Amino acid sequence: MKRFYLLLFGLSFLMLISSCSKTIYFSQDMRNNLNKNFLSLDKIQFYNSRKIILRRNLSYADTKVARGEIKLIKGQYVEKIIIPKNTPGVTVSEGGNSISVAFENGAYRFLKFVLNDENQYQISADKWSNDYGKVKYDTLVYYIEPKSSRAVLKVIKNDRYNLQKKTRRVKGKIISH
C-alpha cells in the first residue's frame, strides 16, 4: 500500500512539473493558425528543445582560423558549435513543411527544422549516416551529433499562439426623436 501511494505521489509530481513548463512544442496546427490569422513566423520567438552540437574535423592548418571550441580528440582536431537547450532563435526562411531558424547572427548560420510524424518541427540534415546529420552551417560542413537529432522547436506557452478571433455582433443605431 505504501508503494502505491509513493507511485501516486510520483506521478502527480511529474504531472505538476510538466504542466508548469513555460514552453510548448511548436506544431503544424499552431503554424496553420498563425497563417489563418495572417501572422508571420518571423514574429515568433523559437527555442530548441535539446542541446544541439555541431562538429567537424579540422586539419592542423584549419585550426588557426576556426571560430568554435577546438579539441584534440584521438589525434584529430575537432571544432564544436554548441547551441544550449532553450536557446532563442528566429525564423530566417520557411517552406511548406520546413522552417529555417538562426540561433546566432550571421548570414549562413541557421538550421533547418522539418515537420515530423508527431506534428512537430524537428532538426533536419542534408544526409544522415550512422546517426550523424550532415549540414551546411556558416558555409562549412558540420555534423549534427546523434544526441541532437531529436531536437524540436518550442515556443513560450501563452494565449498568443492559441489564436482565436473574438467576434462581436452590432445591433445597429437608430435615429433618436
- Ordered by start, the domain boundaries in the chain are 22-157
Mean pLDDT of 41-49: 93
Burial 127-164 (b: 16+ CB within 10 A, else e): eeeeebbebebeebebbbbeebbebbbbbeeeeebeee
Amino acid 169: pLDDT: 75
For the chain, the average pLDDT equals 80
Amino acid 37: pLDDT: 87
Amino acid 9: pLDDT: 40
What strands, in cross-sheet order, belong to the sheet with 132-137? 69-73, 76-83, 52-58, 140-144, 132-137, 127-129
Going by pLDDT thresholds of 50, 70 and 90, the confidence category of residue 98 is very high
Mean pLDDT of 162-170: 62
Q: Which contiguous run of DSSP H or E holds residue 83?
A: strand 76-83
Mean pLDDT of 108-132: 95
